[in-house]
Structure 1
Amino acid sequence: MTRDRATWLLYLHMAAFGYFLYCFGPSVTLLGDDLGVSNAVAALHSTAYAAAGVLIALLGDRPMRRFGRGRTLWAGCALLSAGVLAYCAAGTPAVSLSAALLCGFGAFLVVNVAGTALADHHGPIAGPSALNEANGLAAGVGMAAPLLIGVMDSSGPGWRWAMVVVPLLFGTLAVSLGRTRIPDVVTSGASSAGAPVTAPGPSISSGSSGASGSSGPPMPPEAASTETPASVPGSSDSSTSPAPFSAPTLPSPTSAPPSAHASPVSPTSPTSPTSPTAPTAPTAPTSPTSRSSGSLPAAYWWAWLLTVCSVGVEFSLSLWASTLLRDRTGMSEGAAATAMTAVVAGLCLGRLAGGRLALRVPLDRLYGSAVAVNLVGFALFWSATVPWLAYLGLFVSGLGMSVQFPLATAAAIRAADGRADLAVSRLAVATTLAAGGAPFLLGLATDLMPVRTAFLLLPILLLASLPILHKSTHPKPPSRR
């Protein structure tokens, strides 16, 4: 694979996004303490961020096709930078929530364009590898974010200065590589639809029929898995979807986190708008339902719920782990904010290994094993009264979470009966709902009951995902009359 200037520019955009994503999670509780608001109100910042993802998903690829990928990408950088500065300067919840919404608009534009451009620039063969590298770099850079937040908060300057690094990173990219041409949308002879890459860790993804995405989760370029559905046993329509998901979450989102999806249409394909003889050629069997329209099977909607569970756990842990850590171990706010580093380290290592495991282990067995690992990690973290044991538990939880969102995405695409574009588009709703809703519910619960009791929401989601997994991977055969 050739890595030219455009490749490195997109890699660095994903790295800057990864840094922001893993700053955002720990910052929510710190900002809530500064503003003197309840945990439920603090969690609304994640909801505002996710809401922006829904709106960007509704836009689809229209901004890229109207203004070009380059302008859209730099506009996203500007919006994200402005949102971060407003977020750091906020003195009231109204301002900070508006800033979180603005951050979401910018972040989703950045991750959508970067993921789509990488997939198209390197093609169906090398594209997944490029996305793997981009998300690996994002995860590596992202690990520094919670550490810097903790250091800044404990040493005196304040956690907000760690977030100011985000506009500095994008400004440096604009000055040093701003003239680099970014591969644009293919408009002649073929149509190309790309999906955003989910961020490592809490990853969020957005998508539409035009530009579908699957992430994670503020997950996390995380939070995102780096395997393609073709790499997962049983996944379908790999020719249409060379890289429908990548680690990201997440983001996702989470969750972080990211995926790419390119769907080239041959000029001689029966579905090509430029094909003069399309209707008459009996070359390939066609489904009575278009791949981008029509209803989806019941098994798909079970996989959709599986995605909700995986993203909900990832985002909730990312936003509120530091709260339980402070409550159980007596750590300071700044020190507890570094907890996300342990989660991201587990996500990063798990996704490196998970890609290979997905080639050898059936999807349902691998997902079930990941849930078991996650439950063990949660038990360690939940019961810990000393920091080192809590960090170990978070690391193990990160290992378990690392493959859950990517595998849920693969299960959904496999169950979609060939409608990969529509499937990934609908998953955007699942990821944004989970990323915005689950942390809010957990924050609300911590206001009403002890933090430790409220955290039992996470194992409930994990255990609920097991029967859902069975429904999505073992659908009932259609009845014959």
Structure 2
Amino acid sequence: MQRDSVTWSGYLSLALFTFFLNIQGNILPFLRDEFGLSYRLVTLHPAAIALGLILSGLVSERPITILGRKRAMIIGLSGLIVGALCVILAPSPVISIGGCLLMGFLGGLILAIVPAMLVQWHRGAAPSALGEANGISYMASLVAALSTGLAVALHFSWRTGLGVGVVLAILLILAMRPVKLPLPLSQTPGASGRLPLTYWLYWLALTGFIGIEQATLVWAPEFLETGSGLPRASAAIAAGAFSAGMLVGRMSATPLMKRMSPMMALYGSLMLALPAFFIYWSAPWPPLAVAALFALGLGTALLYPLTLAQAIALSGPLGDVASARASLASGFSILVFPSGVGALADWLGLWPALLSLPILGVFALFFLIAGRIELRRAAA
């Protein structure tokens, strides 16, 4: 698989989007203290990003078609920069939540562009390319967790982590100036019609997998602090174990795809993730909880990219539309599941609230199997 300037533009843009998305879990405890918010209210920040993604997912294929991928990508990166600055400088939660909404809406262009572009560019190697893209994204998540935790440990502001992301986004925009991205699939013949039923079954599975991933990311720092007894700065750093597990899992996509089918990899991932969750959830010893969180990240790693690659590939010339609607799944999951866990935590406590995640995994598996059955039926 060739990793050229087009590939790296996609990888790094998606990584920066993931940086700003996943740093939410690390900064939520500080926002909650600074503005005096409840668990439920503080989750309006990731919920605002999710709402922006939903709105973007409904319309993003249109500006991508009109402007082209490169201009739309730069607009997306610029939206991340401005939105992050709103959070950094916010005098009230209204401004910080508004900044998150902007990051979701304009940053959603990146989430719509990159998967379809990589599937189009790498074709048969698309699962590996998406696995690597999301692996590098989890390097960015790890940087987000470490930058926040280390900044606080060194007595700097928690805003330092967001500032790092702003600088990196500016540098990427400058580096992308000479790069030429391929034309959108929506500008090719046959790019009309409706997405098939199989796509929507995969979309439902994708929604569940993203929900598990995002709820774990958002609440891991808080759970390690309140459930395992780690100090806040240490919990923020230790929560990076999930991102580290995701990183290892997603960077293993290329060698793994040479040895097994995507569906076998998906089933194996679920068999690892389920017991890892229950060890993490019930561990009486902080190092065991952190190790199980790493294993949970490893088991969750390939659920999203492999399901997404199959969903886009079966959509043919409607790949840009499929990718945009996949960002709608991301937005819905981020909007519903982290805040849903937060609402349950306000009512029952965070420990029992997290039990909703394995239940969600069962539903996602059901729709994944249903999608495979429908694909075989349609091909018969």
Q: TM-score range by the shorter chain?
A: 0.7 to 0.9
Structure 1 counterpart of 2:164: 165
Deviation at 1:127, TM superposition (A): 7.2
Mapped partners of 2:336, 2:318: distance in 1: 27
Higher helix share: 2
- 1:371-406 C-alpha deviation (Å, 9 max, x unpaired): 221111111111123221111111110111112123
**Rounded Cα–Cα distance in structure 2 between residues aligned with 1:451 and 1:145:** 23
Within a 5 Å distance, the mapping from 1:131-170 to structure 2 comes to 134-170=133-169
Worse overlay, 9-18 or 385-394: 9-18
Share of identical aligned residues, percent? 29
C-alpha displacement of 1:303: 2.9
Match of 1:293 in 2: 193
1:328–1:384 contact (8 Å) kept in structure 2 = no
Give TM-score, length-normalised by structure 2.
0.85
Q: Distance in 1 between matches of 2:17 and 2:316?
A: 33
2:81 corresponds to 1:182: no
Shift of residue 452, structure 1, vs aligned partner:
0.6
The one-letter amino acid paired with 1:143 is L
Identify the residue that residue 40 of structure 1 maps to in structure 2: 40
User: For the structure 1 residues 169 and 420, does the alpha-carbon distance in structure 2 shift closer, same or farther, using more than 3 Å as the test?
Assistant: closer
Give the direction of change, closer, same or farther, for the CA distance of 1:369–1:64 in structure 2 (3 Å limit). closer
2:57·2:325 contact (CA, 8 Å) conserved in 1?
Answer: no
Let me know the Cα RMSD of the aligned residues.
Answer: 3.4
Separation of aligned partners in 2, 1:302 and 1:5: 33
Q: In the alignment, is the contact (CA less than 8 A) between 2:119 and 2:313 conserved in 1?
A: no
**How many residue pairs align between the two structures?**
378
| Structure 1 segment 29-428 matched on structure 2, within 5 A | 29-113=29-113, 124=123, 134-174=133-173, 177=175, 180-184=177-181, 186=183, 192-193=184-185, 210=186, 265=189, 271=190, 292-294=192-194, 296-297=196-197, 300-410=199-309, 412=311, 423-428=322-327
Higher mean alpha-carbon deviation, 413-422 vs 156-165, is at 413-422
- Shift in alpha-carbon separation, 1:80–1:377, aligned structure 2, 3 A: same
Cα 1:428–1:106 change in 2 (3 A) is: closer
- Could you tell me how far apart the structure 1 residues matched to 2:364 and 2:70 are? 40
Write the letter of the residue equivalent to 2:178. Answer: R
User: Could you say what secondary structure the match of 1:474 adopts?
Assistant: helix
Give 1:454 shift: 0.7
TM-superposed CA distance for 1:150, in Å, is: 0.8
C-alpha distance in 1 between matches for 2:250 and 2:279: 21
SS in 2 for 1:164: helix
Classify 1:464/1:294 alpha carbon distance in 2 versus 1 (closer, same or farther; 3 Å): closer
Q: Deviations over 1:48-72 (max 9, x none)?
A: 1111112222333333444444443
Give the partner amino acid of 2:96: S
- CA distance in structure 2 between the partners assigned to 1:370 and 1:139 by the alignment: 17
Structure 2 gap ranges (5+)? none
Answer yes or no: is the 8 Å Cα contact 1:364–1:469 preserved in 2. no
Larger radius of gyration: 1
Q: What letter matches 2:161 in structure 1?
A: A
Report the Cα distance in structure 1 between the residues aligned to 2:369 and 2:3, rounded to whole angstroms. 41
The 1:459–1:351 alpha-carbon spacing in structure 2 relative to 1, beyond 3 Å, is: same
Paired position in structure 1 for 2:370 = 471
Give, in angstroms, the shift of residue 76 of structure 1: 2.4
Please point out which of 333, 337, 343 is paired with 1:434: 333
Q: Is the 8 A contact 2:112 2:320 kept in 1?
A: no
Deviation string for 1:67-111 (max 9, x for gaps)? 444443333222211111111222322111101001113322344
Could you tell me which amino acid in structure 2 is paired with residue 146 of structure 1? A
1:126–1:395 distance in 2 versus 1, CA, 3 Å:
closer
1:35/1:91 contact within 8 Å kept: no
The DSSP-based 3-state class of the residue aligned with 2:180 is coil
TM-score by length of 1: 0.69
Could you tell me how far apart the structure 2 residues matched to 1:83 and 1:168 are? 13
Give the distance between the partners of 1:436 and 1:185, measured in 2 at CA: 32
Does the C-alpha gap of structure 1 residues 333 and 350 become closer, same or farther in structure 2, counting only changes over 3 Å?
same
Q: CA deviation at 1:363?
A: 4.8
Q: 1:403 to 1:130 in 2, by over 3 A?
A: closer
Deviation per CA, 1:164-192: give whole Å up to 9, x if none. 111212233455x36x3232564xxxxx3
* Amino acid in structure 1 at the alignment position of 2:216: L
* 1: CA distance, partners of 2:62 / 2:43: 30
Secondary structure of residue in 2 paired with 1:159: coil
- 1:330-372 per-residue CA deviation (whole Å, 9 max, x = no partner) reads 2122221123321111112112334444454455543333222
Classify 1:63/1:421 alpha carbon distance in 2 versus 1 (closer, same or farther; 3 Å). closer
